[in-house]
């Protein structure tokens, strides 16, 4: 077993600006797709990132150095997260599902599309 601790793929985004991976294990974990995507989130980097997509077949070490030269001084955009999801009213979903004979996903979608007045009326039916 290897004692090398596996690094987060996102760590390479910050390392691109500072250093070169020290060993081959680090290079094996290097994911060019994530680097490209991280730089793509910042406005102004789109053309460079699209150009970098053409070099995906290069050796990972060479590709890392290329990213370091081309993108090293560029700003990194903030990674997009899913954000908070609205709480689901399980009783309402189950009632809607039974009343209209549809799937849970369809019931959730319909409930999300309802106006406040429709939701109030639906909640009254539920009681």
Number of neighbours of residue 96 by Cβ within 10 angstroms = 21
What is the pLDDT at residue 15? 72
What is the pLDDT at residue 1? 42
| b (16+ CB within 10 A) / e for 61-94 | eebbeebbebbeebebbeeeeeeeeeeebeebbe
Mean pLDDT of 109-127: 86
What is the pLDDT at residue 3? 46
pLDDT digits (tens, 9 = 90+) for 89-117: 888 899 889 989 999 999 999 888 888 89
Cβ burial, residue 105 (10 Å; 0-12/13-18/19+): exposed
In whole angstroms, give the CA distance from residue 30 to residue 56. 12
Is the distance from CB of 13 to CB of 34 less than 8 angstroms?
Answer: yes
**Could you tell me the residue ranges of all domains in the chain?**
11-71, 90-126
pLDDT digits (tens, 9 = 90+) for 5-47: 566 666 777 777 666 666 677 777 777 777 777 777 776 777 8
The tokens describing 72, both together, are 């090293």
What is the pLDDT at residue 122? 84
| Higher pLDDT among residues 122 and 18, named by residue | 122
Is the distance from CB of 82 to CB of 34 less than 8 angstroms?
Answer: no
The tokens describing 122, both together, are 């639906």
Show Cβ contacts of residue 25 under 8 Å, excluding neighbours closer than 6 positions: 2, 4
């Amino acid at each position: 077993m290897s004692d090398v601790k596996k690094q987060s793929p996102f760590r390479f985004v910050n390392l691109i600006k500072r250093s070169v991976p020290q060993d081959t294990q680090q290079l094996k974990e290097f994911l060019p797709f994530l680097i490209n995507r991280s730089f793509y989130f910042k406005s102004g980097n789109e053309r460079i990132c699209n150009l970098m997509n053409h070099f995906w077949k290069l050796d990972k070490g060479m590709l890392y150095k290329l990213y370091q030269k081309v993108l090293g001084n560029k700003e990194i955009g903030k990674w997009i997260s899913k954000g908070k999801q609205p709480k689901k009213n399980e009783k309402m979903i189950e009632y809607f599902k039974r009343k209209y004979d549809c799937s849970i996903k369809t019931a959730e979608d319909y409930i999300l599309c309802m106006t406040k007045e429709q939701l109030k009326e639906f909640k009254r039916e539920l009681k």
